[in-house]
Amino acid sequence: MMAALLLLLLGCSSFPGLLTVQINQRPIIGILAQETLDLYRYGKTYIAAPYVKYLESAGCRVVPIRLNLTHEEYERIFHSINGILFPGGAGNLKTSAFAKAAKTFYELALKAFDAGDHFPIWGTCLGLQLLTMFTAGKDLLINTDTENIALPLNLTNAAASSKMFWDFPPDVYKALSTEPLTGNFHHFSISVQAFLEDEKLSKFYSILSTNNDRKSVEFVSTMEGIRYPFYGVQWHPEVNRFQWQQHKAFSHSPNAVQVSYFLADFFVNEARKNFHHFPSSEEEAAALIYNYSPRYVPTSDYIQIYFF
């Protein structure tokens, strides 16, 4: 009986008469572009290549989502992709084109989930900060001394049973809290105190880990939606496998690589629960990141960057 139930959950049809769980075998995840700052001569907006590699490595395709499109254009994209990633970077949480576009997808995902349409969102660094602001309705961030530092996570009691971490191998899960596997490159954070004191945030997200900056300020480092499939990390899992600058706190240990893979795999599997698709194969092909080539920029933080 237990074996049959397990096979059912895995979508196996070996037992006649058992219903199978449908999954999307060809998931496509959007990555939201950002305004270019110091490398403006290459293009007005960009996506760092490590985010593309991070998602593709777990078995999906990627669509770059341009800025300053109309609401109708963003809606069409939303109904064509299976999830979205808000990357880290720099930008105003309220006035930037990045923030405005991200809010559109956040609101569309909320409405869709309430109607039974599972659309996951992942926020890394600035992406997590945007998620907290959209949910709280205000900017609760504070300055923290967290630039270029690798840290072990202070996992909360909720982490072990969380959607994000429950399938981690025990040794990798343990390493998360004992080894400095998570690269932090941010100047702002949401403090644990501010998070818990805000009723909207504390009811919407579960804190999976916290950390302390160099001055012992405690901040939220990992969170996930209690009801909605929204996930945020203040740190950068993509760097463990795809960035190699020696002056940066990028952990490349075997456990660090495993953490990066399992998180990418988790989010791509969340996107497999969504069945949005492009109206035609031609429109799908035209939208994919394959139509662009990353530029090698050795002086940048990312080394390889897609510019638009």
Domains in the chain: boundaries = 27-307
Residue 289, token pair as written in the block: 């990141």
Residue 128, token pair as written in the block: 């997590």
Average pLDDT over residues 29-36: 97
Amino acid 19: pLDDT: 53
Average pLDDT over residues 53-78: 98
Amino acid 51: pLDDT: 98
List, for residues 84-143, the tens digit of each pLDDT value. 999 999 989 999 999 999 999 999 999 999 999 999 999 999 999 999 999 999 999 999
236 catalytic? Reply is yes
Amino acid 301: pLDDT: 86
Query: Considering 79, 118, 186, 236, which one is annotated as catalytic?
Result: 236
What is this structure's pTM?
Answer: 0.92
Share of the chain above pLDDT 70, in %: 94
Mean pLDDT of the chain: 93
187 catalytic? Reply is no
Amino acid 115: pLDDT: 98
List, for residues 273-284, the tens digit of each pLDDT value. 999 999 999 999
**Distance, CA of 191 to CA of 143 (rounded, Å):** 9
Cβ neighbours of residue 56 closer than 8 Å, sequence gap 6 or more: 62
Query: Considering 125, 187, 276, 277, which one is annotated as catalytic?
Result: 125
Q: At what angle do helices 254-271 and 49-56 cross, to 10 degrees?
A: 70
Residue 8, token pair as written in the block: 């059912």
CA 85 to chain centre: 5
One-letter identity of residue 15: F
Say if residue 227 is exposed, middle or buried (CB neighbours under 10 Å; 0-12, 13-18, 19+).
Answer: exposed
Amino acid 39: pLDDT: 87
User: Could you identify the residue written with the tokens 């343990």?
Assistant: 174
Indicate the DSSP class of residue 15.
Answer: S
Fold assignment, 27-307:
Rossmann fold (3.40.50)
| pLDDT band, residue 299 (cuts 50/70/90) | confident
User: Could you identify the residue written with the tokens 């990066």?
Assistant: 260
For β-strands 303-307 and 45-48, DSSP reports them as antiparallel
